[in-house]
Structure 1
């Protein structure tokens, strides 16, 4: 019965995002300020073009590009391969993907545009609410 619960009911829509042109030092500051481990990278049409993680930032630092070049951009270190989920996906399917992939969060897209993010914690919140109250009201 939990399959009737959809991602859009529990996703976070207010995200910190970067563009490929964002300065890497500024992006790192934002990750630290917001206490997050990564953020989506979007183009001017709000289409997801990559993801920037703490690991990507560390790779940039280890290769020396962050410290030796003055204008390192997010596009220089971001991951281009991004696993996403559709806004109308059901919670059970997404929970299975979390278990299989080991990921902590997925960007949520609607017609190719980034509309939010769903995390393992969001899934647990959905399960708890469903168990406590039955199906959520749409």
Structure 2
């Protein structure tokens, strides 16, 4: 039997998340503790509202040092517009090609408006190894 090409079979279910009103410092702890390069930002109904990357956190941290201010809230530093998401029934090859074209390391997976998972380059590499056997 051939391996599945559906994203649903390779995504990280229930990825680490933060909320817009969380502090960037709290989000940094989630990123560090989970050894990930960014987090999905969700509202109280688990709708995806943004993405916060390590670079966003670094920029917020350096800005706070420069301006002698607090680091701020996730909502002030997350990417919230033009979010590119995937559907769990999408083909992993298409998603991988699009991630390469857009130079993105992760893609939230949304179904019926709710965040159900995330796919990263690492999951895609694991999927490719299944096809190489």
Cα separation, partners in 2 of 1:22 and 1:123, compared to 1, 3 Å: same
The residue aligned with 1:31 is 31
Q: Distance in 2 between matches of 1:35 and 1:12?
A: 14
* Kept in 1: contact 2:86–2:110 (CA 8 A): yes
Structure 2: segments with no counterpart, 5+ residues: none
* Kept in 1: contact 2:3–2:131 (CA 8 A): no
**How big is the alpha-carbon RMSD for the aligned residues of Structure 1 and Structure 2?**
2.1
Q: CA deviation at 1:67?
A: 5.2
Q: CA deviation at 1:8?
A: 0.5
The residue aligned with 1:89 is 90
Q: Distance in 1 between matches of 2:101 and 2:84?
A: 12
Q: Deviations over 1:53-102 (max 9, x none)?
A: 111112212322795137x2111111113221111100111111122111
Max radius of gyration: which structure? 1
Structure 1: segments with no counterpart, 5+ residues: 133-138
Q: Distance in 2 between matches of 1:31 and 1:102?
A: 20
What is the TM-score when the length of structure 1 is the normalising length? Answer: 0.84
What is the TM-score when the length of structure 2 is the normalising length? Answer: 0.87
Cα separation, partners in 2 of 1:91 and 1:62, compared to 1, 3 Å: same
* Kept in 2: contact 1:3–1:90 (CA 8 A): no
The residue aligned with 2:63 is 63
Task: Name the count of aligned residue pairs.
Answer: 130
* Kept in 2: contact 1:18–1:39 (CA 8 A): yes
Q: CA deviation at 1:7?
A: 0.3
Q: CA deviation at 1:120?
A: 1.5
The residue aligned with 1:41 is 41
